[in-house]
Structure 1
Amino acid sequence: MNKTAQIKKNYQFIKYQKLIVVSILIGFLSSFLAISLKRLTEHYEEIFFDKANENWVYFLIFPAFGLSIIYLLRHYLFKKKENKGIREIFDTTAQRKNSLPIYKIPSHFINGLITVIFGGSTGIEVSTVVASATIGSIAQEKENLFNRHKTELICAGVAAGITALFCSPFAGILFAWEVISKKTSKIFFMTSGIAVAVALGFIYFLDEKSLLTVTITGWHWQAIPYFILLGIIAGMNSVYLTKCVLFFKRSFGKIEKHPYRIFIGAFLLSGSILLLPQLYGEGYHALKENILLSNDLTLTVTFAVTCIGIIILKPIVTSATLAAGGDGGVFAPSIFIGGFIGLLLAICLNKFFHANVIPLNFMILGMGAMLSASIHAPFTAIFLTCGLINDYSLFIPIFIVCMVAKYTAKRIYPFTVYSYQPKSI
């Protein structure tokens, strides 16, 4: 072996060695951040929601207070720099010279937490994704050897963060591929795989549980036409969600004074939560309650009006939250809306067509279908949904609804909230 070849071999060995070490570090920090944010949010959201249920006045106060605190923090602590969600990651990976500044970690962590616990109708998933991506971006900047692998290290952080949130390693890696990178390489699999493995170890060490505790009794092949119908409906609703978010961001962007944005956003949010408390925060509390009751529910006027109200209002209050300055995205709202679409459809099918479908199954399938259509990432949605319930019994039905929902949405409207370019407005 000549001297040049030996030098090249040593360089590659050192590079891979350092990539392994930094991937372990990214995996640990990203999963620690994700689980910390998740536990803090769940704890305080429950406390604040219970307080508001005891005294409805808090439903009026909390959203305005939360959005105002975020505005003040952004104005005085984070130097008036707004968070743009996953779009920030795209801007960073598009050009090598771009990077995610370190303040994005506390900014998204704190603002995501405050948004949800004070009733902002979104979730912490996007806050976690951007903060985790920032960890990867910072790691890349610290070592010249990593200059060509910024995207891979950002994806490693994202994959570990999603894995920690949903206890699903496949969802973490697939989200990093389908949404962030859109391509794979040997380095991508190595860095993301190591980061996800560390996140999994962290999950087991802390005994993290899946979000939803359910018992799946099986499914029937005769229900496949109904799965397809659910996928189509979810795909159509995802377009409604996407267009709501884009419309509100465009409309609120025309309001020059930010306090006016907060007032309008808080007014819409508070009024909707007063009508339907299920819209408070992430909404997972409402999903869990209905999952427990799903197989015993019957079609009544109250039930139908509640479900329809949730399906119509959730995109509006999510959009108002984000446009008024709240931190988050469409991840949790998609899961929430999809669950109620599936539940309402199943009960209607059983009532009017004697379909004998299982409402619980349709709730789970609806979550995956809506998420798949909203972010155009069916494989992420498939494995994330299975991770939500820690059960793969519904893998085939979930696969069907996710594919149908994604292509239905794409056929109607080719963009997501993440891929839409503001200059096209």
Structure 2
Amino acid sequence: MRKPVLTIFYQFNPWHSTIGGIQTLIKIFLKYAPNEFEVRLVGTEYKPNQTIGKWQVVEFAGKKIKFLPLFTLENDNVRSLVPTTIKYTANLFKYCCESDFMHFHRLEPTLASFYWRGEKTLFIHNDIRTQMQGVDNTKAILWQKCPAAYFVLEKLLVSQFNQILSCNTDTAELYRQRYPKSADRIAYIKNSYDNEIFYPLTSKDRETQRRELAYRLGLPEETRFVLFAGRLHPQKDPILLVRTLAALGDPNVHLLIAGSGELEAEVLTEIGHLGLCSQVTMLGAVTQNELAQLHRLCSVFILTSAYEGLPLVVLEALASGTPVVTTKCGETPKFLTPNSGIVCSERTPTCIADAVRKILQHPENFPSESCVQAASPYAAFNVVTQVYNDMWRRWEGSRGRE
């Protein structure tokens, strides 16, 4: 019996250090794919002079997959004049990539798939309503300039999906209201983190690694680290992050920024303007293993986003035993417990700094065990395995009807 084929569509290359929860989730689906499935990825290439537009058998996380790069994309962390999604969609029209199962993580590329045969699933990663409203005039995506056009496109395309899965319960409910005929195909899905990579240290080892990092950076031994990881992008509002450090006013606190993006120059300017150069280290894009090491030694993870779905990086921080301070957006406030982090009532530097200060002054109120417990239901082995099991049951059922 031939294997069922899953094809995943997204504009990235999994062998390149890339930033974003969607990329991380796709890597988890590749890594944890059972041997009963043939898995394919339609992505992009980032190295010149490599084969574009042809399927290649390659290895990822010890598994053989098929990979089709549509075009060369040297840096997917920075937006270009022509949005990458548009380039990806235009190139996808050149191919027919239909398969037994197809996973899409953007709406636009499904223009090309409308007449393809096979089971199609659309994953929605953000709070669409808030995203389109452009909170605080944060123009994170071009569709915010004309949301009506987006919803017209969405209405045109939504009928082709067998499933619409959202990691945000509010968005799932919004879609059920907008598309009542498809309501039974719309569901909430937990995002997941790789529990083989993100795990806590003992208190002693955490302190040892914290002191070692302080030494490497030439900082005092008592320095405590707070971490941000993600794109330097309007959605994440890194300027608010830097202003939060200024409002905190604690010279013994050092901010680590793991990520890059279009706002990098503005972030550096703001750091200089506020006189924080000695309290911030810009790390650029880091690997998943490097990020896991940072999570395990930091005292707090900070998220200053204007909108979110369910950010994987929050799950990764909690799984590493690190409490989270977040703005009131996305799914995080619904599962963050009082002893695993703080949800800020206002998106202001003062409010966020107050929350960070509470954790730094009373770490005993936010024990590692509580953080890990909050994240544990979202472990990849549990979540992704269940998705594949459901796909396998549907596959067997469809073959039984043939």
Higher RCO (C-alpha under 8 Å, 6+ residues apart): 1
Query: Quick check: TM above 0.5?
Result: no
Normalised by the length of structure 2, the TM-score is 0.30
Q: Which of the pair is proportionally richer in strand?
A: 2
Q: Which of the pair is proportionally richer in helix?
A: 1
Normalised by the length of structure 1, the TM-score is 0.28
